[in-house]
Amino acid sequence: MTQAETRAVKLVDIPLVKRLVENGTILDSETGFTRAMHGPNSALFSNFFLPQRGLHTLMARCEDQYVVGQFRLRPDETHARMIYIAPGLDYGEDDTAWLHVLDAMVADAGRRGAHMLTAEVDEHLDLFETLRVSGFAIYARQEIWQRAPAVLPDLPDILLTQVTEADEHGIHLLYSNVVPRLVQQIAMPPSQSDGLVYRKNERVEGYIAISEGKHGIYLMPYLHPDVFSEAVAIIGAAMRYANNVDRLPVYVCVRRYQDWLEDALVDLGFEPMTRQAVMVRHIAAGIRQTSFATPAHKLEVIPSPIKPPTATEPVIDHIQQNQE
């Protein structure tokens, strides 16, 4: 049986990580479309040096095959997100090393307090099947739409405001009404994104998470179906907020439960780019040290039934002494 070794990546692994990341597969769309690019100077490689941001990188070695995987888990979160696996998995290739690095990331995320690990993967990749074999399940499907850099057309004025604490309740209600219950636990927008709110009749009817990086602008909209007729103007206003749509491509993530937004995206000049599956592997809570109390100890902690006092001689003598 093939023996595999898994461990955290160390500084001595820098040359190897540089080589592997050149052909990596990005599993976090927000990172991939805003900050990542392949090559030794890529944002993926620079992430290796940023553990303070909750990034954790592990390596698996199986015979002469090395695979590196990275996930993000912030100290106050229980939802870990996979960032990338490198190198990419080729058709027909033995995926043993990939399976080991996936298991290692799940175990490491669990030790750090995560309850689940998620990945956004293109469905046409062979890695999609490897994730399923590893125990990941499909929780949602999404399509990424792309718009080339261009000046925005004239659109109706729509007021979008930055999120404040006063909006939190309204956003929660919108989120509960728009996102299916099963998906709610994993469908939160990227934690590094800015939030824009659209209000109508004093209610939050739209929320758009927007992330901007060196290589693109990434939008994740949550719009109530009641604002269907305003969808073009709302998304256009969010793009205008980024200020760089004439220099950078814009990407919009549309989950299956919001596919009615596709007509609005076509009107804004977007084209479908790729279909992805949002995959989740739940992490069971572990017991660090199991201990069992002995039967005698368990009996000691059970309160004894109250017994009436008995008129024994020592008790009578004690009463007589107190009277004297």
For every residue of the chain, which 3-state class applies, written as one string? CCCEEEEECCHHHHHHHHHHHCCCEECCHHHHHHCCCCCCCCHHHHHCCCHHHCEEEEEEEECCEEEEEEEECCCCCCEEEEEEEECCCCCCCCCHHHHHHHHHHHHHHHHCCCCEEEEEEECCCHHHHHHHHCCCEEEEEEEEEEECCCCCCCCCCCCCEECCHHHHHHHHHHHHHHCCHHHHCCCCCCCCCEEEEEEECCEEEEEEEEEECCCCEEEEEEECHHHHHHHHHHHHHHHHHHCCCCCCCEEEEEEHHHHHHHHHHHHCCCEEEEEEEEEEEECCCCCCCCCCCCHHHHHHCCCCCCCCCCCCHHHHHHHHHHHC
- Token pair recorded at residue 73: 């888990």
Whether 309 maps to a domain, the answer reads no
* 172 and 130 within one domain: no
Question: Are residues 200 and 181 both part of a single domain?
Answer: yes
Question: Are 118 and 68 found together in one domain?
Answer: yes
Check residues 211 and 303 and name the one with the higher pLDDT: 211
Domain membership flag for residue 315? no
Average pLDDT over residues 265-278: 96
Give the model confidence (pLDDT) of 30-66 as tens digits: 989 998 654 444 555 555 555 557 889 999 999 889 9
- Same domain for 102 and 63: yes
Identify the pLDDT of residue 46. Answer: 55
Within this chain, do residues 131 and 29 fall inside the same structural domain, yes or no? yes
197 inside domain: yes
Tell me: pLDDT of 310 over 50.
no
Do residue 152 and residue 131 come from a single domain?
no
Q: Is residue 319 part of a domain?
A: no
Q: Return the higher-pLDDT residue of 311 and 25.
A: 25
Residue-wise pLDDT tens digits, 280-296: 999 975 444 444 444 44
Give the pLDDT mean for 297-321.
Answer: 45
Residue 279 in any domain: the answer is no
pLDDT tens track for 103-154: 999 999 999 999 999 999 999 999 999 999 999 999 999 999 999 999 988 8
Q: What type of residue is 62?
A: C
Residues 139-157 as b/e (b if ≥16 CB within 10 A, e otherwise) read bbebbbbbbeeeeeeebee
131 & 242 share domain: no
Q: Give the list of residues 6+ apart from residue 271 with CB closer than 8 angstroms, or none.
A: 145, 146, 147
Q: How confident is the model at residue 169 (pLDDT cuts 50, 70, 90)?
A: very high
pLDDT band, very low/low/confident/very high, at 90 (cuts 50, 70, 90): confident
Q: Which of 100, 135, 170 is the last residue of a domain?
A: 135
Domain end point (choices 114, 135, 156): 135
Single-letter residue type at 295:
P
Distance of alpha carbon 2 from the chain centroid: 32
Is residue 282 in a domain?
Answer: no
The reply to whether 27 and 130 lie within a common domain is: yes
Which one is predicted more confidently, 12 or 190? 12
Q: Where a domain ends, among 135, 158, 175? A: 135
CA separation for the pair 156, 140 (Å, rounded) = 32
Picking from 66, 63, 64, 133, the residue whose alpha carbon sits closest to that of residue 103 is 133
| CA separation for the pair 151, 288 (Å, rounded) | 57
Question: What CA–CA distance (Å, rounded) separates 32 from 146?
Answer: 13
Query: Structural domain of residue 220, as residue ranges?
Result: 146-273
Residues 12, 131: one domain?
yes
Angle, CA 20 vertex, CA 15 and CA 22 arms, to 5°:
105
Are 193 and 219 within one domain?
A: yes
Burial of 250 (0-12, 13-18, 19+ CB in 10 A): buried
State pTM to two decimals.
Answer: 0.82
Q: What is the mean pLDDT of residues 194-213?
A: 93
**What does residue 55 show for φ and ψ, rounded to 5 degrees?**
-95, 135
* Structural domain count of the chain: 2
Which domain CATH number covers 176?
A: 3.40.630.30
Same-domain status, 99 and 162: no
The answer on 223 and 162 residing in a single domain is yes
Residues in a beta bridge with 30:
none
- For residue 287, is it within any domain? no
Q: Kindly indicate the confidence band of residue 21, based on its pLDDT and cuts at 50, 70 and 90.
A: confident
Q: Which residues contact 23 (CB under 8 A, 6 or more apart)?
A: 38, 86, 87, 88
pLDDT band per the 50, 70, 90 thresholds, residue 253: very high
Asked if residue 2 belongs to a domain, the reply is no
